[in-house]
Each structure stands twice: as structure tokens, then as C-alpha cells.
């Protein structure tokens, strides 16, 4: 990552241990910062994958489709002015809660009516759709919910999700993935 750590020559065993500790701590934090950039994506990917693996592919597809329906109703919700706007965490949780409520309602509807259990999505397709679903939710976090008021993402994640031009592609990615990967 371009870091140079200058460590003077140790004069005693205690100083040597202290220098090794400083060096190890520096590199551990560097590795942790790089890994934490994508930790949220990995957590969401894992949750989606486990959901699809244990509950089934049909409910997983219903979940992916419920995100689109929930977004439409979230945008058209006429009572947004009644949601709290301060403090920032309360405003964020209220908006995410409303979106989650719509997603749950549409998941139940889609699970009952539309999605069949006789579809096939392989492990690779399941992993890909889980990743695309995680990207979809992060794109919503960047462009719809006031997450920036509560949490500052790292530059690596910003590069993937912050540009407005990328929102369309992250938004449409799960639908495109379902079109090609679900049989």
C-alpha cells in the first residue's frame, strides 16, 4: 500500500519486542482496513446465500423481486414527511424500517402468488445473485437512504457505489442476473 515503516535498531530485548509489536500492529490495522472495506458486502452476500440455501431458491427469487416492489412503494409513499429527520441515526432507521416493511409485505405476496419452487439456480448462480443483491442494497444505501449522515464508507466502496451513473447498473443487476441464471 506504499507505507514505509522506519524502525530504529533496538538496543535491548524489551525495545525489540516493542518494535515488533508496533510493526505488527501497523500491518494488522492495514490489513483490517482493507478487509473492512468489503466486509458489509461479504456479510450481505453470506446472508443471502444462506437464506437461499436453507429456505430455497423460490423464496430467494421472491426476496430479490420484493426489493424492486418495495423500492417503488417507498418512492411513492405520501407520508414521508411524518418520518423523523433528526437525529441522523433515527432518520436512517425510520427510512430503512419503512423500506423493510414494504419489502416484507411484497415478499409475502410474491412468495404466495408468483414464485415457483420448481426453478433451478445452481451454486454459482446463487452466489452471483447473492452478490448482486448485496450490491443492490448498498446502492440503495448510497442513493436513497441517508446513510452518509451516519456512516462514512471507505474510498474503495465509494468508487463502486457512489457515482450516480452506477446506481442504474447496481439497481438492475439482480433482475438481469435472475433473467440469465434462473431456469
User: For residues 113 and 116, what is the distance between their CA atoms, to the nearest angstrom?
Assistant: 9
Q: For the residues 35-43, what does the mean pLDDT come to?
A: 80
128: three-class secondary structure by DSSP = helix
Residues 6 and 64 in one domain: no
Cβ count within 10 A of residue 3: 7
Q: Give the cell for residue 54.
A: 436453507
In this structure, the answer to whether residues 67 and 94 fall within a common structural domain is yes
Q: How many CB atoms lie within 10 A of CB 121?
A: 21
Q: Are 109 and 71 found together in one domain?
A: yes
147 and 89 together in one domain: yes
| 81 shares a domain with 18 | no
Q: Are residues 137 and 168 in the same domain?
A: yes
Instruction: Return the ∠ at Cα 31 (arms to 11 and 146), rounded to 5°.
Output: 135
22 shares its domain with 88: no
Report percent pLDDT > 70 for the chain: 79
Q: Which residues, at least 6 apart from 43, have a Cβ–Cβ distance to it below 8 Å?
A: none
Same domain flag for 97 and 129: yes
The label of the residue with cell 423493510 reads: 100
Instruction: Give the number of other Cβ atoms within 10 Å of residue 69's Cβ.
Output: 16
Domain count, the chain: 2
3-state secondary structure of 122: coil
**Residue pLDDT, tens place only, 120-170:** 888 899 999 999 999 999 999 888 888 888 888 888 888 888 888 889 999
Find the domain containing 16 and state its range: 1-37
Whole-structure pTM over 0.85, yes or no?
A: no
Phi, psi (degrees; rounded to nearest 5) at 120: -120, 130
> Are residue 42 and residue 77 in the same domain, yes or no?
yes
Longest CA pairwise span in the chain (Å): 75
5 and 72 assigned to the same domain: no
* Distance separating the N- and C-terminal Cα atoms of the chain: 43
pLDDT at 34: 61
- 150 and 165 share one domain: yes
Q: Do 28 and 69 have their domain in common?
A: no
* Mean pLDDT computed over 60-78: 92
Query: Mean pLDDT, the chain, as a whole number?
Result: 83
Amino acid at each position: 500500500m506504499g507505507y514505509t515503516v522506519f524502525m530504529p535498531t533496538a538496543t535491548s530485548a524489551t525495545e525489540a519486542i516493542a518494535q515488533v509489536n508496533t510493526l505488527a500492529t501497523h500491518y494488522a490495522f492495514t490489513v483490517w482496513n482493507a478487509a473492512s472495506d468489503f466486509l458489509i458486502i461479504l456479510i450481505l452476500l453470506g446472508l443471502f446465500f444462506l437464506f437461499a440455501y436453507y429456505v430455497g431458491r423460490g423464496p430467494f427469487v421472491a426476496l430479490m423481486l420484493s426489493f424492486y416492489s418495495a423500492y417503488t412503494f417507498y418512492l411513492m409513499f405520501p407520508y414521508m414527511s411524518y418520518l423523523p429527520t433528526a437525529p441522523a441515526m433515527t432518520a436512517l432507521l425510520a427510512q430503512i424500517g419503512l423500506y423493510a416493511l414494504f419489502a416484507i409485505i411484497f415478499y409475502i405476496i410474491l412468495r404466495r402468488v408468483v414464485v415457483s419452487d420448481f426453478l433451478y439456480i445452481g451454486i454459482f448462480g446463487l452466489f452471483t445473485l447473492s452478490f448482486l443483491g448485496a450490491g443492490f442494497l448498498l446502492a440503495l444505501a448510497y442513493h436513497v437512504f441517508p446513510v452518509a449522515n451516519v456512516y462514512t464508507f471507505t474510498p474503495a466502496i465509494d468508487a463502486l457505489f457512489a457515482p450516480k451513473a452506477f446506481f442504474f447498473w447496481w439497481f438492475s443487476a439482480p433482475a438481469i442476473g435472475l433473467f440469465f441464471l434462473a431456469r
